[in-house]
């Protein structure tokens, strides 16, 4: 690692001020950023830890929404969202391993937008809103391709607001070495219709499978997607699976997610 200063502000205003300078970067749980620093793929002059910022960690219900602070760890979401949004808590409880879940945060996961990460699927399928220190961003407008989001330099995810669906579940085909999703699908059924978001499959990162959404909005059952097929064009191909393998997994995991949700 190159040398840097580490600051631990206690308020959002202090965090914003600390991040305003050039070459300052937010530190969430460090579960992605610390390995990146070790590999010298990033060289910030200053890291601003969000862990101690007041009011940025926790899970609360507000009306029909579940509001999760940007610095909330996966372990806290797994424990505290279990009654209000079981599908989301289940997703959080299967990220990585217990030590990763005790440090890694929802804000860090979304800002990083790893094409195989779990949370982006939940956020997109739920139609959640990402709240930052300067604006509110709809999930449909937030993700911008692999490892890219619309966040500006120094912008802080302060909370994520999830509309709670009537039924919602995540099915993940685990890549056993990394424990990320080889392909994962989150389905969420609302009175207005069903949303289906896929992670781990596309070279563009997380995406909505709209044909399945239409089919499942008519009939929320695994067999509703039987007649559909997913094109392997643009799917990730690597030593873990070919594009065609992943395209098939999209359908298989969608069926499993629907079965788990219904």
Residues that bind ligand FAD (CB under 6 A): 25-33, 50, 70-71, 95-96, 100, 104-105, 107-109, 111-112, 114, 117-119, 156-157, 179-180
Closest CA to 164 of 248, 65, 254, 89: 65
Query: Binder to other proteins among 2, 40, 62, 191 (CB under 8 A)?
Result: 2
CB of 156 to ligand FAD, least distance (A): 4
Q: How do strand 157-163 and strand 129-132 relate by DSSP bridges?
A: antiparallel
Binding partner of residue 95 among other proteins, ligand FAD, none, CB cut-off 5 to 8 Å per kind: ligand FAD
Which residue, 33 or 169, is less far from ligand FAD as judged by CB? 33
| Complex with other proteins: residue 62 or 97, whichever CB lies closer | 97
Contact criterion met (CB below 8 Å) for 183 and 121: no
Contact status, residue 172 vs residue 181, Cβ threshold 8 Å: yes
Among residues 94, 111, 137, 97, the alpha carbon closest in space to that of 28 is found at 111
Draw the binding track, 153-192, toward other proteins (x: CB under 8 A; -: no contact). --------------------------x-------------
* Least Cβ distance, residue 103 to other proteins (angstroms): 6
Q: Closest approach of Cβ 220 to other proteins, in Å?
A: 29
Residues 32-51 that bind other proteins (CB under 8 A): 34-35, 37-38, 47, 49, 51
Nearest-10 crossing angle of helices 119-126, 86-93: 170
58 near other proteins (CB under 8 A): no
In this structure, are residues 126 and 163 in contact, taking their beta carbons and an 8 Å threshold? yes
Total residue length of the chain:
262
Partner from other proteins, ligand FAD, none contacting 38, C-beta within 5 to 8 A by type: other proteins
- Residue 98 touches which of other proteins, ligand FAD, none (CB < 5 to 8 A by kind)? other proteins
Least separation, in Å, of the C-beta of 11 and other proteins?
17
The 3 state secondary structure assigned to 81-106 is CCCCCHHHHHHHHCCCCHHHHHHCEH
The beta strand positions in 86-217, using DSSP E, are 129-132, 136-138, 157-163, 167-174, 181-190, 193-199, 207-208
Contacts to other proteins by CB under 8 A: 1-6, 8, 30-31, 34-35, 37-38, 47, 49, 51, 75, 96-100, 102-103, 179
């Amino acid at each position: 690692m190159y040398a840097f200063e580490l600051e631990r502000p206690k308020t959002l205003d202090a965090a914003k001020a600390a991040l305003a300078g050039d070459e300052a970067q937010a530190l969430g749980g460090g579960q992605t950023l610390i390995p990146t620093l070790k590999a010298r793929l990033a060289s910030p002059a200053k890291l601003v830890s969000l862990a101690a910022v007041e009011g940025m960690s926790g899970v609360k219900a507000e009306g029909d929404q579940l509001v999760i602070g940007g610095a909330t760890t996966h372990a806290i979401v797994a424990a505290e969202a279990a009654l209000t949004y079981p599908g989301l808590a289940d997703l959080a409880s299967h990220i990585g391993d217990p030590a990763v879940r005790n440090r890694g945060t929802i804000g860090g996961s979304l800002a990083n937008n790893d094409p195989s990460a779990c949370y982006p699927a939940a956020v997109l399928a739920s139609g959640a809103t990402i709240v930052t220190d300067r604006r509110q961003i709809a999930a449909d407008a937030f993700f911008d391709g692999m490892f890219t989001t619309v966040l500006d330099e120094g912008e802080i995810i302060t909370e994520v607001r999830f509309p709670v669906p009537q039924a919602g579940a995540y099915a993940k085909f685990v890549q056993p070495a990394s424990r990320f999703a080889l392909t994962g699908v989150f389905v969420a059924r609302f009175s207005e219709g069903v949303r289906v978001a896929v992670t781990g499959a596309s070279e563009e990162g997380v995406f909505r499978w709209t044909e399945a959404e239409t089919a499942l909005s008519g009939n929320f059952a695994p067999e509703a997607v039987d007649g559909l097929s997913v094109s392997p064009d643009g799917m990730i191909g690597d030593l873990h699976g070919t594009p065609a393998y992943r395209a098939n997994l999209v359908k298989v995991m969608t069926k499993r997610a629907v079965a788990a949700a219904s």
